[in-house]
Amino acid sequence: MSSLVCAPVELEATLLGINCRPSEKREGWQGFGECGSAVDVISEVLRSLCGCEDSVELGDGEWLRDFTSDSEPSFGLNSFISFLVKRAGCPFSVLVVALIYLDRLKQDDPSTTLSMFTIHRLFLTALLLACKFLDDRGHGNLFFAQMVNCSLEEMNQLERAMLAKLRFKLFVSDKTFATYASCLVSDLLPGSVMPMFI
């Protein structure tokens, strides 16, 4: 029987191949800090999910309407991810699970076109769900809403929409977690794209 996904701190350090473990006290941890390469890899994965789409094509993906911005955000994806990770104090395991949720959405509805108009809100919501699933003491919707300056009502709606699309299936097996984590840590080998994120 599989246990919860949250990898032990030692496993996180091994998977990352670098020393960016949280301290004993959660409040004292500054997120990834010197681990900018992890944010770069996650940003690259999210870009690969988006492809080269400049426009918003919902097609059969009408569920994306709540996640669609009127214009592409003025800040870069790397900056956004780094900001979220540092403010929320997200360990590597939460980031991996958030990416698994996004990949499940894409696999469930391949006709859905993700773009730079949707990926920020999608990642934010996946991160919220992963935080809540892996850490009962973690931050709630109000924290995430205030962090990105949106209303609590909007954050709640994004959470409901993603939960419904995922059919409330948030569990991730140890094997699935390890597969995705090792793909992330491989740092996107030159000329390759992780097949599970296409």
Kindly report the pTM of this predicted structure: 0.70
Tell me, letter by letter, the H, E, C secondary structure of 163-185: HHHCCCCCCCCHHHHHHHHHHHH
> Among candidates 180, 168, 135, which has minimal Cα distance to 22?
135
- The span from the CA of 68 to the CA of 140, in Å, is 22
pLDDT in tens, 48-63: 777 644 444 444 456 6
Tokens of 140: 């709630």
> Which range, of 37-51, 73-87, 158-172, averages the lowest pLDDT?
37-51
Ranked by mean pLDDT, the top range of 46-50, 162-166, 193-197 is 162-166
Residue 71: its H or E element: none
- The span from the CA of 2 to the CA of 24, in Å, is 26
Contact between residue 49 and residue 113 where contact means Cβ atoms under 8 Å apart: no
- The span from the CA of 15 to the CA of 5, in Å, is 14
What structural domains does the chain harbor?
36-186 (1.10.472.10)
Contact between residue 97 and residue 172 where contact means Cβ atoms under 8 Å apart: yes
